[in-house]
Amino acid sequence: MILTVMTRRTAFQLAGAAAALPSLSAQPAPLKGRLKQSAARWCYGKMSLDDLAREAARIGLRGIDLIDYKEWPTVQKYGLVPAMTPGAGKIGDGFNRKESHDRLVAEMEENIGRAAAAKAPNVITFSGNRRGQADAEGLDNCTIGLNRVKKLAEDKGVTICVELLNSKIDHHDYQCDHTVWGVELMKRVDSPRVKLLYDIYHMQIMEGDIIRTIRENIQYIAHFHTGGVPGRHELDGTQELQWRAVAEAIVGAGFTGYFAHEFVPTRDPMTSLEEAAKLCDV
pLDDT in tens, 233-262: 999 999 999 999 999 999 999 999 999 999
Least confident of 8-12, 154-158, 267-271: 8-12
Taking each helix axis from N to C end, the angle separating 210-217 and 179-189, rounded to the nearest 10 degrees, works out to: 10
* Cα separation, 60 vs 79, whole angstroms: 10
Q: How far is CA 4 from the centre of its chain?
A: 58
Would the pLDDT of 13 be above 70? Answer: no
SS3 of 170-185: CCCCECCCCHHHHHHH
* Cα separation, 259 vs 122, whole angstroms: 12
The 3-state DSSP class for residue 105 equals: helix
pLDDT in tens, 56-65: 999 999 999 9
Q: What is the pLDDT of residue 237?
A: 93
C-alpha angle 63-170-266 in degrees, rounded to nearest 5 = 60
Q: What is the pLDDT of residue 2?
A: 37
Q: What is the pLDDT of residue 97?
A: 98
* Cα separation, 278 vs 282, whole angstroms: 8
Task: Tell me the domain boundaries of the chain.
Answer: 29-86+226-282, 89-195
Q: What is the pLDDT of residue 30?
A: 84
Would the pLDDT of 3 be above 60? Answer: no
Would the pLDDT of 24 be above 60? Answer: no
Band (266; pLDDT cuts 50, 70, 90)? very high
Would the pLDDT of 199 be above 80? Answer: yes
Mean pLDDT confidence for 149-167 = 98
Which residues lie across from 41 on neighbouring strands? none
Mean pLDDT confidence for 268-281 = 97
Least confident of 13-22, 135-144, 160-169, 258-267: 13-22
Band (26; pLDDT cuts 50, 70, 90)? low
pLDDT in tens, 65-120: 999 999 999 999 999 999 999 999 999 999 999 999 999 999 999 999 999 999 99
Question: What does pLDDT average to over the chain?
Answer: 92
Q: What is the pLDDT of residue 4?
A: 37
Task: Give domain 89-195's CATH architecture.
Answer: Alpha-Beta Barrel (3.20)
Would the pLDDT of 125 be above 90? Answer: yes
Band (6; pLDDT cuts 50, 70, 90)? very low
